Structures are given as C-alpha cells and as structure tokens.
Chains A and B, each alone.
Chain A
C-alpha cells in the first residue's frame, strides 16, 4: 500500500556569501516525489538572500541561481497546497542534492541561519 510522507533535510549557512552543497538519501521504499518546499528559521534571510539548485537522482529540477523565494509558501497558503508540484517524479537512486547559495541583499544583515528542504513523497508501506 502507498502512503504519503514528508521528508525534511537541513543545511546550515554559517558564512555570508557562501555556497553550501549537501546530498541526502531517501529511503529505498520511497517511490515518488510529488513536491518540494524550502523554509528557514530566519525566513527573511532565505527570502531575500537565497538561491539554490536542486537535483533528484542527478536530474536537475531547479538550476543554479533559482531564487528560494519562488519555492517558499507563507502561512496564508493552505497546508496541502504549500509544496511546489513536481508532478510525481521517480527518485531513482534516491539521492537529493541541494546546492544553496547565500548572496548579500541590501535589505538584510547576515546572521547564521538554517535552511530546510521539505519533500512531499509517496512511499510503499512496509507492512
């Protein structure tokens, strides 16, 4: 039986104007990735300063310099509609790579922050 599940992966941005790349692995029983969402513990820094590249199974879904604000949803958005729809992609080898770039913006002052990548997945029930 298939069931919906959400996955969260965190990266830390400790230095201004830096790029942080990390690869995460999804469980083997995940069969589809339906959506993606990014959030942060300091939303304003993510919104104004962040860009990222996201790859799933070595396939690029969002290229370098794709602004994080385009993948964010505020609390005014209904919880079931917050994820950016990828259309149900197969995870393949299950590797999710995020390459996040922090860039100065005249409206913000840097302080270390966390970026969370959420994936809306469908997994095979282990029972």
Chain B
C-alpha cells in the first residue's frame, strides 16, 4: 500500500544574492516524488526596508514591505490615477533536480505575500484584507518523479536581499511530498 509523506528542507539565507546548493535525502522506501511546496520566515528585520504603516486592526504586526515608485515598478494602472497594482515581492528562485532524470523537475520564483489581495474585496466593511484572513487554502504543486536514487539536488538564489541591496537573514522551507511503500 502507498502512503504519503512529506520531507522538509530548510535553507538559510544570510547574504544578498546568496546562492545555495543543497541536497534533500528521501527515505529508502520512497517510490515517487508527488508534490512540492514552499514557505518562509524572516529571521531578522532589515534596517533599510521601508515599513508600511500598520492598519489599525493589526497594530501588533508590522509588515515589512517595499514601496515601489510608480515609474520603476512598471505597474499596471486602471482609470484612476492613484490606483496601482503592486508587484509581488520576489524572494528568490528555487530549482530542484532528481538524480534519476536530466534537467530540473521543479523551478519556481518564490514570492512573498500577495500584494494585491485587497483588490478582490469590494465589501468596504473595514475588515483589512490579509493573507492570514482572506488567503486561499495552500496546496502543493503536483509533480511525478521517480525517486529510486533517494536524493534530490536543489538550488536557491536570493533575490530579496539583492533587490534591496541588504543582507537579509531569512529561511526558506521546501516541502517535498512523497509516496512511500508500506
């Protein structure tokens, strides 16, 4: 009988533009890699990042957010001159390769929170829109890769520190979902 399991790999980033090569070891009885997802945590605050003023309802949680000028963001505009869509903060690039096959089987741009989530709220009730209140249910990205060699090679490149020209200490967690034979 096949059973699902998840392997977690934490990648720690400390310097701007840091590139990390890593390996993820899978259990020997792994048959397939069936999905990949990621998450992250900011470990230290940065001096240069601009803090957006916290909305009233979340005064205890100041979110660090980069404010783009309209010119450099290349933002999409609607009819109203002040209404800009904000670009999501790119955190880095993540790529995974199985020893079984050539080329990457997973490549993703790692993004922070959805910066435009509030554009979907037309209720105007004053209930602030955030990922933790209005976010969708997270699901893994489905892949199907043989896992006989039980090792995945991974590569991560920082973009957050590079874009802000700062050393930002954070960690990225990579979740590899596997099928295991019982």
Contacts and interface: CB of A to CB of B under 8 A. Distances in A.
Interface of A: 42-49, 62-67, 69-70, 72-77, 81-82, 84, 103-109, 111
Contact of A74 (B10, B62, B135): B135
- In the A-B complex, the 10 residue pairs with the smallest Cβ-Cβ separation, listed nearest first, are A47-B132, A106-B42, A74-B135, A43-B132, A44-B61, A74-B134, A67-B39, A106-B45, A73-B137, A70-B138
A106 B175 CA distance: 22
B61 A45 contact: yes
Nearest to B121: A76
A63 to B, nearest CB: 6
A109 B132 CA distance: 16
Given A47-B131, A48-B41, A104-B43, A66 B175 contact: yes
Contact of B8 (A42, A48, A63, A108): A63
Nearest to B63: A107
Contacts of B58: 44
A70 B134 contact: no
A70 B175 contact: yes
B132 A67 contact: no
- Interface-centre pick from B44, B61, B120, B136 (highest chain A CB count, 10 A): B61
A107 B6 contact: no
Contacts of A43: 130, 132-133
A65 B10 contact: yes
B21 interface: no
Interface of B: 6-8, 10, 37, 39, 41-46, 58, 60-64, 120, 130-138, 170, 173, 175
Contacts of B7: 63
A75 B44 contact: no
A81 B132 CA distance: 16
A107 B61 contact: yes
A106 B132 contact: no
A102 B164 CA distance: 28
A49 B7 CA distance: 20
B136 A77 contact: yes
B86 to A, nearest CB: 17
B175 A107 contact: no
B152 to A, nearest CB: 16
A63 B180 CA distance: 15
Given A48-B61, A66-B175, A107 B42 contact: yes
Nearest to B173: A67
A105 B6 CA distance: 23
B133 A77 contact: no
Contacts of A46: 132
A106 B131 contact: no
B132 A107 contact: no
A106 to B, nearest CB: 4
A69 B42 contact: no
